[in-house]
Structure 1
Amino acid sequence: MESPSNKDTKRLRFLSYRPTLPQGDTAEFLKEAGVRSARTSAGGTHAATPRRRTSRDEATGARTIAPFVAAILAGALMPIMDTTIVAIGMQAIITAFAAAVSVAQWVTTAYLLALAVMIPVSGWLQRRLGGRTLWLGGLIVFTAGSLLCALSPTIQVLIAARAVQGFGAGVLMTLLQTMPMQQARRAGVPLSGRLMGIISLPVAVGPIVAPVLGGMLLGVASWHWLFLINLPVGLAALAMAWRWVRPEDGRERDAPLDVAGLLLVGLGLVGVLVGTTNVAEAGGMGHADVLVPLVGGTVLLVAFAWWEARMRHPLVEVALLRGHVLAASVVAVFALGAAMYAGQFLLPLFWQGVRGTSVLDAALLLIPQGVGSLLARPAAGALTDRLGSRVVAAGAFTAVAVTTAPFAIWPASAGTAALLVVLFMRGVALGMLFIPVMTASYTGLAEPAIPDATMLTRLSQQMGAAVGTALAAVVLEAAATSTGDQAAAFGRAFWAAVALALVGAAVSLRLPARGPAEIEGSTPGADVHARS
């Protein structure tokens, strides 16, 4: 294994925004940052004006990458819908296998753990294999995992098959953001809020379609079809990818794998996710099966960050966090995951426990939130391009807090129609929130740095989701125990979700005040993050 080093200057392929460089590496740095020519002096780097593309060039580039983006979106829709569909069918699975709830929950947990572990590995695999090969492999693994799930004779085999699905999903969910952004860079298409709005369409469409599709399948067929439905979709996505996702240059066939880093981050993620998953079942934080994996996982993740900062060939380029915009984006994405998933955890339970609906009806009642999120995305992209990420994200976080508060304030007998209107508005707020936060994380980055930025934001979102869900579960359990009133307990838990959104609003004040197009117009090679 290679030894750690802080002096390796060959890592400049990532750091497009570092302000000064050793004299000998200036030309290489400028080349990779996209600058066509430069003058150097003893005092540092003086970049020439970058080549400007006309609006006609950008329109041509957009038309060029449209089939590529369509193929990526088609493949990403499966893993996004899968979690919701399986959640709806969980009771049917428990009944079919006569499984205990504590065992059946691993059908979801195994999937999420495998997905999380694959996020940091995906960047190395993409460098080694190329994006096209890895995307096709992810589709094959996910589709094959779906078939294994449908053929599972026992709950244990189903859990293992779900892990296979999760490995494929981890690749697909990471490349969903990475590959379109890289392709846009190559085609000269600006990395804008509008582009992020298109890329994130599956995230908005999935929660709308999945409950309806899951309910229809369970109404006319067995639980096996919750997984078999992925087969025709997967085959179609494979055909589209084979046709429109072309091989790219720049693969690093000899890129070494940071085994120690992989073990640290893999075990750390497993520890944190298992610990937070056990919170609800254990009834709080003060239990060994919560604290041991949670604390152990946190320590391993801290060790991973320290190790990666010292490695010559890191698994994830954590040095990118030296740019304060990406660092602020990672923190904002953590807050986004916490606020969004705290609500997503509480809302179905609220409809079932307080309002007395079935699992399927609870899922269907969340559709207005998905519709609101979908409809908000075009406006979110345009506003981010015009006003900058800071204003839009801070306003959206605040709107999420405001639209979550009625579930804490209103009585349990509040009208369903009024709650559905609030859910629609909450969906609009969430749709407005995702795009500015994610757009900021890529602004000003050179194309080689995009996979690492994606891994950092995806890992942050996963950790935020785990923390937000655990916090909501702890507050709900503690309030239910102390008050004995289920409606009051949910009120306190929703206030916790409100607080998480307000924390996110404060964090988002560190995001760029300018639009991405204005920042992208800054001189490549300069510290555009620091100036924004």
Structure 2
Amino acid sequence: MSALVARIARSLRRPSTRSQDGFDRRLIAPMILGSVLNPINSSMIAVALVPIGAAFGAPPARTAWLVSALYLATAIGQPVIGRLVDGYGPRRLYLVGTALVGAAGLLGILAPTLGVLIASRVLLGFGTSAAYPASMSLTRSEAERTGQESPVGILTALSVANQVTAVVGPALGGLLIGLGGWQWIFAVNIPLSAACLVLGARRLPKAPTGGKEQDTRLPKARVDLAGMGLFAVALVTAMLFLMGPQLTHWYLLVLAALAAGGFAVRELRTAEPFIDLRVFGSNGPLMTTYLRQVLSFITLYAFLYGFTQWLEEGRGLSASMAGLIQLPLSLSAVLVSGITGRRPWLRGKLVVGSVFQVIGSALLLLLGSGSAVWLLILVGVVMGVPQGLIGLANQNALYHQADPARIGSAAGLLRTFMYLGALIASSANAAFFKHGADTRGLHDLGLFMAAVSVLLAAATLLDPSLRRVGAPNP
């Protein structure tokens, strides 16, 4: 973590470090700062759900929409903005997106009702959808300019930065809530947005980094409004059912299935689809990477939100203390990323990560209202290992598997599948914690997480393409 901070600090001090054979280091600070906006907001909210519920008199099933709203927005926004990045270049999308983050922060501070607070999370989701595909596009352009086939150091820095902020988020959120209340986790977006706007305006190239006046890799992108609408209807109706599954709500599943079918027909027939389903049929390895992304982040986010809520309600800790309990997870993830980040063997990372997810899920079954603090910390340390392995491995796999001309939209889709995992995790938390985050619900959640982790291990071991991507040279 200290090395990452030092790298950002050096890039902030240097007015220009671009060369013909090295990565333009001026880009690193805006790329990293912009890409961490989503994970920091995703994780800070974990310790705020209980105090927000108390402030508005809302049960966990309703406050869960603070999580789901952000991920619904990002699941839709990532592929759209990724395609716009491919067509229009990263700079303007980056600036518009980070400006929306500041507006969402202001709306969250002033929100008079839970509904308005949820709306601010939707705006935040769209705003944070821009920086990651913009960063991946810039990375690909710089690789083409410098002749570096795989800029592992930059990809590792992006992944580690996202992991660090995601796992530090609960501790930071707990500190902010202790200082000034839950509103402060929304207020922090205002200075972050301002910093991104200044860095982005000063350092991101007005033309693609290859030096051309206009990026001609793809025609100017059009927004597939019909596809977006059908995709949103399918997700929302499925979420409504999963967050309160009852036989009387069968019609929600029917609506979700109809919307999903209509979405598939629409995307296969339109020239410029919202999500190009034809890519999946012609690129099996990339599709498998997206599947692993969903499975891995179901477990990671189910743990992040479920374990944190249980610490506050089931174990009786304050928001600040619950955040501090999560710090060892952060240290474990950063340490693992630092040790393995530059090692290219992706298959080994994914297998080890899935095994540790199974172990961490099983450890949840040992917890109770009187569990010792050392056991709580041990669970966090174990779950930090897959946090430090899986995200980086999937990101590197995508970098090798995706069409270089569509790297922005492919990266956006990787984030979309991550958020689909988070949505399923949010639904699981709402279902298992229907009447509060009690120990029985935590144990049921642990069994669910273990089953998903076994599927992740199977999806890794049965994928022959991973033997070729990043395998060590004989």
Question: TM-score of the superposition, structure 2-length normalised?
Answer: 0.83
For residues 126-149 of structure 1, the C-alpha deviation after alignment (integer angstroms, 9 at most, x for no partner) is 244321100010011111221222
Q: 1-side partners of 2:61 and 2:438: how far apart?
A: 22
Matched, 1:404 2:370: no
- Which among 452, 458, 469 is matched to residue 506 of structure 1? 458
Q: Distance in 1 between matches of 2:453 and 2:403?
A: 31
Identity of aligned residues (%): 23
Correspondence 1:478-497 to 2 at 5 A: 487-497=439-449
Which residue of the partner structure matches residue 5 of structure 2?
none
Q: Is the 8 A contact 1:397 1:504 kept in 2?
A: yes
The 3 A distance-change label for structure 1 pair 65 and 490 is: same
User: Is 2:227–2:266's contact at 8 Å kept on the other side of the alignment?
Assistant: yes
**Matching residue of 1:24:** none
Q: Distance in 2 between matches of 1:180 and 1:359?
A: 38
| Partner of residue 88 from structure 2, selected from 125, 129, 139 | 129
Q: Which residue of 1 aligns with 2:284?
A: 324
Assess, with a 3 A threshold, how the Cα gap between structure 1 residues 399 and 451 changes in structure 2: closer, same or farther.
same
1:454–1:346 Cα change, 3 Å: same
> Structure 2 regions of 5+ residues with no counterpart?
1-17, 209-213
Task: Give 1:119 shift.
Answer: 1.9
| SS of residue in 2 equivalent to 1:200 | helix
C-alpha offsets along residues 464-504 of structure 1, whole Å, 9 cap, x if unaligned? 22234434654666xx99xxx95455334312211211110
Over 3 Å counting, the alpha-carbon distance change for 1:422 and 1:222 in structure 2 is closer
Distance 1:155 1:413 in 2: 32
Q: 2:222 — aligned with what? A: 256
Structure 1 residue corresponding to 2:98, chosen from 139, 159, 167: 139
Deviation at 1:268, TM superposition (A): 2.2
- Paired letter, 1:159: I
Is contact 1:192-1:517 (8 Å) kept? no
Give the Cα–Cα distance (whole angstroms) in 2 for the partners of residues 161 and 471 of structure 1: 23
CA offset at residue 180 of structure 1?
Answer: 3.0
- Any conservation in 2 of the 1:182–1:447 contact (CA below 8 Å)? no
SS of the equivalent of 2:149 reads coil
SS in 2 for 1:512: helix
Say whether residues 1:344 and 2:298 are aligned partners. no
Aligned to 1:463: 420
Number of matched pairs: 446
Structure 2 counterparts to residues 57-456 of structure 1, below 5 A: 63-94=22-53, 105-191=64-150, 194-246=153-205, 247-248=207-208, 249-250=214-215, 254-276=220-242, 279=243, 282=244, 285-289=245-249, 291-321=250-280, 322-383=282-343, 385=344, 387=345, 389-409=346-366, 413-456=370-413
Between the aligned partners of 1:172 and 1:331, the Cα distance in structure 2 is: 23
Q: In the superposition, relative to structure 1, how do residues 98 and 336 fare at CA in structure 2: closer, same or farther (>3 Å)?
A: closer
Amino acid at match of 1:445: A
Q: State the SS of the aligned residue for 2:271.
A: coil
Give the aligned partner of residue 20 of structure 1.
Answer: none
Residue 374 of structure 2 aligns with an amino acid whose one-letter code is A
Q: Deviations over 1:102-136 (max 9, x none)?
A: 66554444333322221232133224432110001
Secondary structure of the residue aligned to 2:272 is: coil
Q: How far does residue 397 in structure 1 lie from its aligned partner after superposition?
A: 0.7
Structure 1: distance between partners of 2:51 and 2:371: 31
Structure 2 residue identity aligned to 1:250: D
Distance verdict in 2 for CA 1:453–1:254, change over 3 Å: closer
Q: Is the 8 A contact 2:230 2:259 kept in 1?
A: yes
Unaligned ranges ≥5, structure 1: 1-58, 520-532
Match of 1:14 in 2: none
Q: Is the 1:404–1:497 Cα contact (8 Å) retained in structure 2?
A: yes
Shift of 1:239: 1.2
Task: Tell me how far apart the structure 2 counterparts of residues 453 and 116 of structure 1 sit (CA, whole Å).
Answer: 13
1:22 corresponds to: none
Q: CA deviation at 1:428?
A: 1.7
Alpha-carbon spacing, 1:460–1:96, altered in 2? closer, same or farther (3 Å): closer
Q: Distance in 2 between matches of 1:447 and 1:245?
A: 20
User: Whole-Å Cα distance in 1 between the matches of residues 428 and 223 of structure 2?
Assistant: 35
Question: Aligned-pair RMSD on alpha carbons?
Answer: 3.2
Contact kept, 8 Å, 2:101 with 2:190, in 1: the verdict is no
Instruction: Report the TM-score, using the length of structure 1 for normalisation.
Output: 0.74
